[in-house]
Amino acid sequence: MIEELISKGQQLDAVHFTFEVGLVDKFPPVPLLKSFLKDAKKVATSILEDPNNAGRAAVARHWYLEIGSWVLLSSEFVVDASPETLYL
């Protein structure tokens, strides 16, 4: 199930689930969070580079909420999420 979440780009859900089922050793959260941030950066960049994208505001709002979820997850589970660790 965790691998399926990861393959669908749902890294935040995968991180949460790994903690719930105790598989943090098999699926470390930091690489998953890095992957999430990398994907979010790609999406945001593509939106900003397309001046004809009418849905920019809605999509940007979606990613803002996703990043907020990442912040909550990292603080809830006390993940080593220092800037040095998550630097892309």
pLDDT per position as a tens digit, 22-48: 998 999 888 888 888 788 777 777 776
**Which of 24-38, 44-58, 64-78: highest mean pLDDT?**
24-38
- Total domains, the chain: 1
Cα(55)–Cα(8) distance, integer angstroms:
22
End-to-end CA distance of the chain: 26
pLDDT category at 77 given cuts 50, 70, 90 is: low
**For residue 26, what is the DSSP state?**
T
Angle value at C-alpha 87, between 84 and 88, nearest 5 degrees: 165
Structural domain boundaries, residue 19: 2-86
| 60-84: burial string, b at 16+ Cβ within 10 Å, e else | eeeeeebeeebeebbeeeebebeee
